[in-house]
Chain A
Amino acid sequence: MALRAIAGKKTLTLGLGFGPRGAVAASCPGLGLRLRHVRGLVTFSLPDLPYDYGALEPAISGEIMQLHHQKHHQTYITNYNKALEQLEEAMAKGDSSKVVHLQSAIKFNGGGHINHSIFWQNLKPANEGGGEPPHGSLGWAIDTDYGSVEALVQKMNAEGAALQGSGWVWLALDKEMKKLKVETTANQDPLVTKGANLVPLLGIDVWEHAYYLQYKNVRPDYLKNVWKVMNWKYASEVYEKEVA
């Protein structure tokens, strides 16, 4: 599921706040979990990038990576936590109107946190394997469903370029049908809003903040270049786990 990336390779369900609240901190001392407790509520913090800000150059500039991570993603997390606290309060009071009112902020900011957490994993410096095309079962699946990796890339780039406003373009696995799909989502809607069975393999942020400082209005150039730092290995791992 999309949420798996939030906690990195560590336990998966904790990101959802399942299980007894006290157990989370007790069972996972030290770093790595990115969760903390405020009055028993599970809240979130900014995951570290597995590479330096400048490591994705020249495909994505260090300036963009730093802003994107430290400002944009952090803001989503901050506002997500705020909304969750307000939600907890509203639920405790039985304030249905407030509970419903908070949903859009949760969807937006929570979605932003989910999507960006996946995105950082989707990228990899070129000298660490970024851009290397997929092998194994994902490679075969792509050839089967799209003819070739190039054809898939072209399709994703076309959809990404045509997206009006802000959003994401995804390579998804429909885990029921065991088929690959290209999807787009608007704003910070996570992929799951397009189908409960969709698992994100790769996501490309086409919000202007993801590329504007470097590529200005030429989104197609950004889309062309981002593949040079695409972490197909991560996508393959997710894919293999789901179809196994």
Chain B
Amino acid sequence: MGFPLLSPSYCCGSQPSPPIFHGLLRFKPVTSLRKPSSQKRQLCQSGRASKILAYYGLTTPPYELDALEPYMSQRTLELHWGKHHRDYVDSLNKQLAKNPLYGHTMEELIKVTYNNGNPLPEFNNAAQVWNHDFFWESMQPGGGKLPQGGLLQQIEKDFDSFSNFRDKFVESAMTLFGSGWVWLVLRTEEKRLSVVRTSNAMCPLIWGDIPIIGLDMWEHAYYLDYKDDREKYINTFMDNLVSWHAATVRMLRAEAFVNLGEPKIPVA
């Protein structure tokens, strides 16, 4: 189902970044574009410089492009995945061809290119690639309805009721200004679920939270099917598209990294 959603080195509570991140800071990826460092020159001693190129493939949604009809049309999937998502991947690979960053999971790449608030040019593409991977996997044919078992209990605990959560999610999406995303995340510090909103390509991974569900609120996500009727799109997502199965799986993984204390999330 695409890339692993969480890598252990990133999600153990707060801090230490994996060693490779520090290694990169030593290499100072941005400036090393300008001139080869002495370390790089040493690697080239054997003659022709051999460079490892990072490469990310376009992952396909876990269903056929028409499988979400009539709630999300095949035409939308063809454009949204086949053009927008593909463009982000192609652009990212083109950028990385001139950049020593390689060997990262997408989650790591997003954090590295976010560069603590001073994003590198690769950030936008990397984040949007991940966001869209996550988005396809947040939906399924026959989606919607209610979560069950442990996830439902956790939602009821953190929002008082499922319908409260649903209202909050819808309201958050409706009041988003401009392009962005709406998420159900597990806040790693507060150890509770929360609805958050991000602009443009921003992703809650940046501040260490664990996304459980993501909804694309860029206009290209819904305009062909719903025109300006965002409310209908959002409600359709909640009623017919959202994959509580995927959300449960993600919660189970999240539980491995975040101790929620009593009561633990019961296995679904």
A residues contacting B by CB (< 8 A) are: 67, 71-72, 75, 104, 108, 164-167, 186-188, 207-209, 212-213, 216-217
Contact = CB atoms under 8 A, between A and B. Distances in A.
Tell which of A71, A186, A188, A216 has the most Cβ of chain B within 10 Å: A216
A213 B223 contact: yes
B178 A209 contact: no
17 contacts: A71-B227, A164-B201, A165-B178, A165-B180, A165-B199, A165-B201, A166-B179, A166-B219, A187-B177, A188-B178, A212-B219, A212-B220, A213-B224, A216-B79, A216-B83, A217-B87, A217-B220
A72 B228 contact: yes
A213 B231 CA distance: 19
Interface in B68-110: 79, 83-84, 87
Contacts of B10: none
Contacts of A209: 219, 223, 228
Contacts of A207: 219
Nearest to A186: B178
B163 interface: no
Interface in B166-223: 177-180, 199-201, 218-220, 223
A67 B223 CA distance: 11
Contacts of B236: none
Nearest to A217: B83
Contacts of A164: 124, 200-201
B118 to A, nearest CB: 15
Contacts of A165: 178-180, 199-201, 218
A217 B199 contact: no
Contacts of B228: 67, 71-72, 75, 209
Contacts of B224: 212-213
A104 B177 contact: yes
A71 B231 CA distance: 13
A167 B179 CA distance: 9
A164 B178 CA distance: 11
Nearest to B179: A165
A216 B219 CA distance: 11
A188 B83 contact: no
A100 B239 CA distance: 35
A166 B220 contact: no
Contacts of B84: 217
Contacts of B220: 208, 212, 217
Interface in B96-150: 124
Nearest to A187: B178
Contacts of B180: 165
B203 to A, nearest CB: 14
Contacts of B227: 67, 71, 213
Nearest to B80: A217
Given A67-B228, A75-B228, A164-B124, A208 B219 contact: yes
Tell which of A71, A187, A213 has the most Cβ of chain B within 10 Å: A187
A77 B78 CA distance: 34
Contacts of A67: 227-228
Contact of B223 (A166, A186, A187, A208): A208
